[in-house]
Amino acid sequence: MTRTIATIVGSLRANSNSERIARAIAAEAPKDMSFDIVTIGDLPLYNPDLDAPTPPAAWTAFRSRIKSADAALFVTPEYNRSVPGALKNAIDVGSRPYGQSAFAGKPAAVVSSSMGPISGFGANHHLRQSLAFLDMPTLQQPEVYLGGVNDGWFGADGRLTRDDTRAFIGKFGQAFAAWIERTAPSR
């Protein structure tokens, strides 16, 4: 059975390192996983007043794609020792209205990165706090913190050029697939 993974990239920058990492994970993951990159840049800032009677179309489309997925993968850079504002907004949009969270019960995994050596540690752990509240069983091991990420990590075709990182990402994909099978609600 093919599992659909809603892939949420925390960076809005075109061809960002986070997006390239998400695509590298998809390339190395088991073939029965289908990764759907769900964009977040067009989501209006969450305001409960906009949810009734008719929420913005971008919110409805986002929530629908999350709900239809079997799991969620978050790939994010770190901004100021936390998650980017656009990613936090996407979490707020997807988790509302209260009691109707699109995220509830979905298996999740977090991958963080930075150009520096800290590897997005702060963003990774702040995001995990939100996912715990959203009742998303989140893969604990292997943890994925990628430091020193730069354009040299990727070839012209977008593939990772580092064999060790590609192998690690492949092992992560296998662990995430197994996690989904153990924790995903029955279809």
CATH of the domain at 24: 3.40.50.360
46: domain range? Answer: 3-183
pLDDT per residue over 136-159, tens digit each? 999 999 999 999 998 899 998 888
| Residue 123, SS3 per DSSP | helix
> What is the predicted pLDDT for the residue at 157?
87
User: Is residue 108 within 8 Å of 115, Cβ to Cβ?
Assistant: no
Least Cα distance to 56 among 104, 8, 90 occurs for 90
DSSP 85: H
pLDDT per residue over 64-112, tens digit each? 999 999 999 999 999 999 999 999 999 999 999 999 999 999 999 999 9
pLDDT per residue over 5-63, tens digit each? 999 999 999 989 999 999 999 999 999 999 999 999 999 999 999 998 999 999 999 99
Total tally of structural domains belonging to the chain:
1
Least Cα distance to 75 among 138, 153, 6, 8 occurs for 8
User: Is residue 121 within 8 Å of 112, Cβ to Cβ?
Assistant: yes
Asked whether the whole model's pTM tops 0.75, one would answer yes
Exposed e or buried b for every residue in 76-87, given b needs 16+ CB within 10 A? bbbbeebbbebb
